[in-house]
Amino acid sequence: MRRIGLALVVLLAPLAASAQTLVAADLRENQSLDGAWHWSVDPYRDGVAGFHGGPPSESTARYQDRIQADEAAKRPTALFEFDMQRSAITHLPGSWIGHAPEMRYYQGLVWYQRTFDYTPTGPGKRVYLRFGSADYAASVFLNGKPVGKHVGAFTPFAFDVTDRLRPGSNQITVGVDSARTDSDVPPPVTDWETYGGITRSVRLVTVPETFVDDAFVRLDKDGRIAVSAQLLGPQAANATIRLAIPALGSALEGRTDGEGKWSASLPAPRGLKRWSPENPTLYDVQITAGADHFADRVGFRTIEVQGDRILLNGKSIFLRGISMHEEELGKDPVRAMSPAAARALFAEIKQGLHGNFVRLAHYPHDEGTTRLADEMGLLVWSEVPVYWRVAWGNPETLATARRMIAENIRRDRNRAAIVLWSVANETPVSDARNAFLRTLIGDVRALDDSRLVTAALLSARKGKEMRIDDPLVNDLDVMAINTYNGWYSDDPLAELPSFTWASPVTKPLIFSEFGADALYGYHDGAAAPHKFSEEYQAEYYRRTLEMAAKVPFVRGLSPWILKDFRSPRRQHPVYQQGWNRKGLISETGQRKLAFGVLAEEYRRRAERTGER
């Protein structure tokens, strides 16, 4: 059990509601709670437990439903050692590392509070309080009462608060704790910044009492449009339910089973325009059940593997990609990835690099980002932060990873752009790790049989022979390898093209990472340029691309990385200053020389395959 967990879970146990994902909640009727919130730092977690354990005292429990100043005026002897209503104000979503200079390296508990007005929508409705995500563990209180808790930084969660809301002013308090232990996912050491706090939108979402909680609509392997829906609520069982795609003239009607589930399919109409990066056609999809009208925008395409090729809509495709963290452009990012911020980065990939693919590393990104990929026509690799030193033998860790992967897939499986679910990144082979990852792979396949499963693996090396000798390749559809010869090794760059790759199976391979740091503006005109210069990075790209072009089963590339990103591990005072400099653009968006090298490679590839 995590540190803040214990006291809080005990406190919440009788009242905690289980969290719902609420698929396509961003398109439902909602009241945004983004904007101004008070915040208060609580490094010793006094708001969670008293100093001898047990519940916190009145003087420290931040979530009490009262105005401290009024209370203090009424009771001269009342003691409060906090005052949320007079604490500093910030704008959410966005990590606390930008709230104040002293918060820059803070990892721990922070409390947030705001009030909002609520007008009851009448009977027959339910209201959910939904967070896009909170990093890492969040405990939510409404009008002084606990409503639930969520662990994991990158997936949404929603609590039914219908009975907790009151007409007029309501008070919401959230304790967010960013500290992670070795049994968390990801564990404490990563190569990116922990953006503690509420980094995605908070909304009140109103639905009818019985509503479509989950709906998965896709083109299945047999070329049929398939739907699987789940109703929730008192009328969920044996209910009439309809699917309509008006622009295609398609409609289906059926009945849910005793558990509120409905699955059906219909032949894809002739007029269906398949989704692709060149023609990212999306259709309005509606599901009606009782009083509920569920809406989503869905693209239809197939993705499959044949031998060592990847087929999109039955046609072989090469993934011209790049990796990306969830970090907006600018000198002081706070992981506030608005649609505009995501669009600016995607434009660099689509128009700048002539790319058709993005690896959204190393965790689920904002749902607005994956929606944008659907709209702009960028194929997506989506992953969970099962990264480096995971506690493979710990059943709680496995449970966390399984929940994360399920939350991610449920949230996003209507996004045609997503073609690959990845279960892990750079995890050394062991029996415990293999078993852990096989469980995740099984979960992915059970939740979504319309996409490909991959994982970024390590490779073995003997001289210039590179081998993929990870038993997990047998379980994956697509192999992926991160390779850094010439950066983390001192191989001369001129030798990289003569490296060879051998695979134990006939499957497509993606080089899911390769890269070299370069400080924008640092030039080295020497014949053998130094590491960290733009020239070294450009030459590294030329030579690595040459090598990749010689491997016949390479079907995609997502080099590391589009933009320089914050990483506390990277402290070279001249070149890094807390940033991983492997970006093709700097943190403020200036293109380095290597950007042009990759853009030219992708332009030529796209021209050759007639994809532009």
Minimum CB distance to ligand GCB smaller for 191 or for 412 = 191
Applying CB under 6 A, the site for ligand GCB has a residue count of: 9
- Considering only 177, 412, 426, 587, the residue that binds ligand GCB (CB under 6 A) is 426
Residues 6+ apart with CB under 8 A from 437: 386, 423, 424, 427, 455, 472, 475
Q: What are the backbone angles phi and psi of residue 447, rounded to the nearest 5°?
A: -85, -25
Buried b (16+ CB within 10 A) or exposed e, 346-361: bebbbebbbbbbbbbb
Chain CA centroid to CA 58, Å = 37
Least distance in Å: CB of 481 to ligand GCB? Answer: 10
- Considering only 513, 534, 587, 601, the residue that binds ligand GCB (CB under 6 A) is 513
Q: What are the backbone angles phi and psi of residue 607, rounded to the nearest 5°?
A: -65, -45
Minimum CB distance to ligand GCB smaller for 303 or for 548 = 548
Buried b (16+ CB within 10 A) or exposed e, 447-476: bbebbbbbbbbebeeeeeebebebebbebb
Instruction: Decide if residue 564 touches ligand GCB (CB under 6 A).
Output: no
Closest CA to 307 of 494, 478, 498, 499: 478
Residues between 307 and 366 with contacts to ligand GCB, criterion CB under 6 A: 362
Least distance in Å: CB of 389 to ligand GCB? Answer: 13
Instruction: Decide if residue 580 touches ligand GCB (CB under 6 A).
Output: yes
- CB-closest chain residue to ligand GCB: 191
Instruction: Decide if residue 425 touches ligand GCB (CB under 6 A).
Output: yes
Least distance in Å: CB of 513 to ligand GCB? Answer: 5
- What three-state secondary structure class fits 21? coil
Binding mask 197-236 for ligand GCB (x = CB under 6 A): ----------------------------------------
Least distance in Å: CB of 458 to ligand GCB? Answer: 9
Binding mask 173-202 for ligand GCB (x = CB under 6 A): ------------------x-----------
Instruction: Decide if residue 170 touches ligand GCB (CB under 6 A).
Output: no
Residues between 478 and 497 with contacts to ligand GCB, criterion CB under 6 A: 482
Residues 6+ apart with CB under 8 A from 504: 468, 469, 473
Q: Which two tokens stand for residue 347?
A: 């434009």
Residues 6+ apart with CB under 8 A from 96: 39, 90, 103, 106, 110, 196, 197
Least distance in Å: CB of 517 to ligand GCB? Answer: 7
- Considering only 410, 582, 592, 605, the residue that binds ligand GCB (CB under 6 A) is 582
Please, what is the Cα angle at 347 between 155 and 197, to 5 degrees?
30
Residues between 519 and 558 with contacts to ligand GCB, criterion CB under 6 A: none
Least distance in Å: CB of 133 to ligand GCB? Answer: 19
Enumerate the H helices of 352-494 as residue ranges: 367-376, 395-412, 431-447
Query: Which stretches of the chain bind ligand GCB, using CB under 6 A?
Result: 191, 362, 425-426, 482, 513, 560, 580, 582
